[in-house]
Amino acid sequence: MNPYLKQYTWSNIQAMLKNNKSTPKEEHKDFRGHLVVITGATSGIGYETARLFASHGAKLLMINRNIKKSEQFKQEITRDYNVQCDYFIADFVHLDQIHAASDMLSHLETDIDVLIHNAGVYNTKKKFTDDDIEEVFQVNYLASFIINYRLKEKLRNQKTVRIIYVNSEGHRFAMAGLKIDDLRWERQRYTGLKGYGSAKTAQLLSMIQFSSYFQGSKVTINAMHPGDVKTNMGENNGNIYKFFKHLIINPSARSPILSAQALYYLGVSDEMEHVSGKFYNFTTEETPAPHALDVGVAEKLWEKSIEMGRL
């Protein structure tokens, strides 16, 4: 029996279905001189978001895994917007590279204004990293946890910072909740949707803990669903999945320009200045699924993440 079933509220599901079709609020404010750190900016949502922030004058610091794409994108940004644009190479399937990125960020002399955790992957099959951690969990969740954890004191001492998780309505697929004692999927059958949903759930649970840690400071942390948009997500999988994606998912998928619009709003608008610990579908606040609000699991996950992330 699913322990969360009784806590489901039909109106929250209705709201999600409605919000999935909405258009994000727009923000046109200048962001000149502010530093935006974004992970996974070489494709899809991260790419459009980096461009939009740069078009408003923001300085960019991208954390990407691909040096060639990063260099090309840096040149494109510099040519199109003439703003400062740097990158750091880190492949999140390696814990030591996540730590190297955290080291670099913790030694920055300038303040970070917006930190966007965007990098992500979708696997149809269970796969482990060299650190022996399920890959989707490590890339989509643990990397963001390690970076936040390593930066938490630096960020708390700054003037203002907005941390944004590019999360997903897909967290709802982990309906029975995050199984902290079976993160290697030995006692449950792994599916792409459940693996992805669990990683996104973990991120929402960590938001509960981080927003409480940052309470009383000028650091906010929020999560968002960036719409169902056409990107390279899932293209690393086999032909059957790709056929399904191109035939069924892509035709109704929208443009990641909308995701960027939402992220710019959440990162810059005055309305979001003091908001923390919330989940948004584009720019509309929503209640996450009950299993992503379980404080008891969030507390256990915090300890487990410290151990798994070698913190």
Name which of 59, 47, 157, 138 is nearest 99 in CA terms.
138
Question: What DSSP string describes 67-81?
Answer: HHHHHHHHHHHHHHH
Q: How far is the CB of 265 from ligand NAP (least distance, A)?
A: 16
Residues 186-225 that bind ligand NAP (CB under 6 A): 225
Which two three-digit tokens encode residue 76? 């494109």
By the rule CB under 6 A, 37 interacts with ligand NAP: no
Residues 285/288/293/297 CA torsion (nearest 10 deg): -140
C-alpha distances out from residue 77 to 57, 85, 146, 157, Å: 11, 7, 28, 30
Measured distance CA(263)–CA(115) in Å, rounded: 11
- Between 230 and 300, CB nearer to ligand NAP: 230
**Residue located via tokens 């798994």:** 308
By the rule CB under 6 A, 93 interacts with ligand NAP: yes
| Binder of ligand NAP out of 101, 166, 263, 301 (CB under 6 A) | 166
Side chain identity, residue 217: S
| Binder of ligand NAP out of 177, 192, 226, 267 (CB under 6 A) | 226
Residue pair 121/185 in contact (Cβ under 8 Å)? The answer is no
| Binder of ligand NAP out of 77, 113, 120, 297 (CB under 6 A) | 120
Instruction: Pick the piece of the chain touching ligand NAP (CB under 6 A) from 65-73, 179-187, 205-213, 239-247.
Output: 65-73
| Binder of ligand NAP out of 95, 121, 183, 202 (CB under 6 A) | 121
By the rule CB under 6 A, 229 interacts with ligand NAP: yes
| Binder of ligand NAP out of 124, 231, 281, 284 (CB under 6 A) | 231
**Residue located via tokens 């997500």:** 233
Q: How far is the CB of 276 from ligand NAP (least distance, A)?
A: 20
Count of H-run helices and E-run strands, the chain: 10, 8
By the rule CB under 6 A, 171 interacts with ligand NAP: no
**Residue located via tokens 């991260």:** 46
| Binder of ligand NAP out of 19, 144, 168, 284 (CB under 6 A) | 168
Q: Report strand pairing: 35-39 vs 59-64.
A: parallel
By the rule CB under 6 A, 46 interacts with ligand NAP: yes
Measured distance CA(234)–CA(158) in Å, rounded: 37
Instruction: Pick the piece of the chain touching ligand NAP (CB under 6 A) from 73-81, 108-116, 147-155, 231-239.
Output: 231-239
Contacts with ligand NAP, residue ranges (CB under 6 A): 40-46, 64-66, 69, 91-93, 118-121, 139-140, 166, 168, 170, 225-226, 228-229, 231-233, 256
